[in-house]
Amino acid sequence: MDACAERVVVTSALRSIPRIPVYVWRVDEELSRRAERFVATFNELFDEDLPKPVAKNAALFFEAADAGEILGRCVCLGGTLQPKQFYHWAINRGSGGRLVVEDFWDAELWTTKRYRNRRRTPAWRAVT
Q: Which long-range contacts (CB under 8 A, 24 or more apart) does 37-46 make?
A: none
Query: Residue 67's pLDDT is what?
Result: 53
Report the C-alpha gap between 74 and 103 in whole angstroms.
9
Report the C-alpha gap between 32 and 28 in whole angstroms.
6
pLDDT digits (tens, 9 = 90+) for 14-28: 555 566 778 888 888
Kindly state the average pLDDT of the residues 1-6: 47
Domain regions of the chain by residue span = 24-67, 71-128
Task: Look at residue 6 and tell me whether its pLDDT is greater than 50.
Answer: no
Query: Residue 97's pLDDT is what?
Result: 78
Query: Residue 48's pLDDT is what?
Result: 85
CB of 92 closer than 8 Å to CB of 65: no
Mean pLDDT over the full length of the chain: 78
- With b for 16 or more beta-carbon neighbours within 10 A and e for fewer, the 30-47 pattern comes to eeeeeeeeebeeeeeeee
pLDDT digits (tens, 9 = 90+) for 25-81: 888 899 899 999 999 998 898 888 889 999 998 888 777 665 567 788 899 999 999
Query: Going along the chain, which residue ranges are E strands?
Result: 74-80, 85-93, 99-106, 124-126
- List beta partners, residue 93: 99
Report field, pTM of the whole predicted structure over 0.75: no
Q: Look at residues 52, 93, 55 and name the one whose alpha carbon lies nearest to residue 73.
A: 93
